[in-house]
């Protein structure tokens, strides 16, 4: 019987929520995490996420890029849930080595350990991202289903933010993206996650280990880092609002994302543990619905009952996509169904935020950094 589970990045947002749920089900949980300052702040002992699991799991302070830390962590484990990653789309465009090391090289080290060191790993579950699809699936009135390439700098500079049909160059309409869609990442982050998928899928097949790759959409909820300005627009916007700072929205505000609540993500991830057949497969995890960024900002303002100005700047960030939302029909066939609507989830998230100490807002510093690297136009 499977009892021992290693979660890398288990002190992070998804990892800590998953660890707590699995503990309640009677699993023995080991967490390997480096307690990154970008997520946990300068003093991890004050981190909401770390404190939620501290003294409840077998905690290994270490790095997924360190072979010895892997060897120490996988001993006696049955399953690995590999969540540790660098996740900022914009940041990935100029901190390339860091993103490749953590998101790609760590998997090579893991596979080397599994190939050459005695272990009893039966399954690896990997957190990938919708970023592997790039723009994803669209419909063209002339050519049907199409998969647009990266938007051109020429069009973006003109304020034309719409993806185009790769055949006729007309505007296209977003469709839910399924797992069979071509992988066409438009950011370094997306490329590293695609590379990770390839390594784990092929490596596990050769070792006779099951692998499940989850392509998460935009995960949100209580516990999300409020001080990390590089990822998670709900957190970024919340911190801006509570510091009474202007919210800048890139492009025209109509770009949209698929927001999926943390409890639903945990439910979906645990489904992978219940699959007893030896498989190597991929699932989308999302709500299956899209919400505009402008709608997010306006709704958060109402929840916090504050009214800082919203600046729809028309600027754009290299590596960003216009729309993407998941076709989740494949994972629904094994029992997944999102339970928390975006309306209810946003209410839960904002109620949690109101109880937290207002964080220092680092957004302006991150913008200056990205501008200096030529990422924001």
Task: List the one residue out of 258, 363, 251 whose CA is nearest residue 317.
Answer: 251
CA angle 110, 326, 134 (to 5 degrees): 65
Q: For tokens 């993407």, what's the residue?
A: 324
DSSP-derived secondary structure for 116-165? HS-----EEEEEEEGGGGTT--EEETTTEEE---PPPHHHHHTT----B-
Whether 50 sits among the annotated catalytic residues: the reply is no
Contacts of 79 (CB under 8 A, 6+ apart): 2, 4, 5, 6, 121, 122, 123, 124, 125, 273
Catalytic residue among 50, 99, 138, 189: 189
| Spacing of C-alpha 341 from chain mean position | 19
- In whole angstroms, give the CA distance from residue 299 to residue 301: 5
How far apart CA 131 and CA 152 sit, in angstroms, is: 18
Q: What is the residue whose two structure tokens read 């002339």? A: 142
Active site residues: 189
């Amino acid at each position: 019987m499977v009892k021992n589970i290693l979660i890398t990045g288990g002190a992070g947002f998804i990892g800590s929520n998953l660890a707590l749920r699995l503990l309640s089900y009677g699993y023995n949980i080991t967490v390997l995490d480096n307690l990154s300052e970008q997520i946990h702040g300068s003093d991890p002992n004050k981190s909401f996420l770390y404190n939620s699991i501290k003294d409840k799991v077998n905690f290994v302070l270490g790095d997924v890029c360190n072979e010895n830390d892997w060897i120490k962590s996988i001993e006696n484990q049955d399953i690995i849930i590999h969540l540790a990653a660098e996740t900022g789309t914009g940041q990935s465009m100029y901190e390339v080595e860091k993103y490749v090391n953590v998101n790609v090289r760590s998997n090579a080290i893991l596979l080397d350990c599994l190939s050459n060191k005695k272990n009893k790993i039966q399954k690896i579950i990997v957190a990938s991202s919708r970023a592997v699809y790039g723009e994803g699936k669209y419909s063209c009135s002339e050519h049907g289903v199409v998969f647009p390439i990266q938007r051109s700098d020429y069009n973006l500079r003109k304020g034309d933010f719409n993806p185009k049909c790769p055949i006729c160059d007309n505007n296209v309409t977003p469709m839910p993206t399924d797992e069979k869609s071509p992988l066409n990442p438009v950011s370094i982050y997306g490329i590293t996650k695609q590379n990770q998928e390839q390594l784990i899928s092929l490596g596990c097949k050769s070792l006779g280990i099951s692998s499940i790759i989850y392509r998460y959409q935009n995960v949100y909820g209580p516990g999300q880092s409020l001080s990390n300005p590089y990822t998670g627009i709900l957190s970024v916007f919340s911190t801006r609002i509570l510091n009474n700072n202007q919210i800048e929205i890139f492009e025209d505000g109509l770009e949209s994302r698929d927001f999926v609540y943390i409890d639903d993500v945990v439910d979906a991830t645990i489904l992978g543990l219940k699959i007893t057949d030896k498989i190597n497969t991929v699932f989308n995890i999302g709500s299956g619905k899209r919400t505009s960024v402008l709608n997010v900002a306006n709704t958060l303002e109402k929840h916090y009952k504050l009214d800082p100005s919203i600046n729809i700047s028309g600027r754009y960030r290299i590596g960003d996509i216009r729309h993407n939302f998941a076709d989740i029909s494949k994972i629904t066939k094994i029992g997944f169904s999102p339970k928390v609507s975006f309306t209810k989830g946003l209410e839960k998230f904002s109620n949690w935020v109101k109880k937290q100490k207002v964080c220092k807002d680092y957004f302006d510093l991150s913008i200056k950094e990205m501008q200096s690297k030529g990422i924001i136009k």
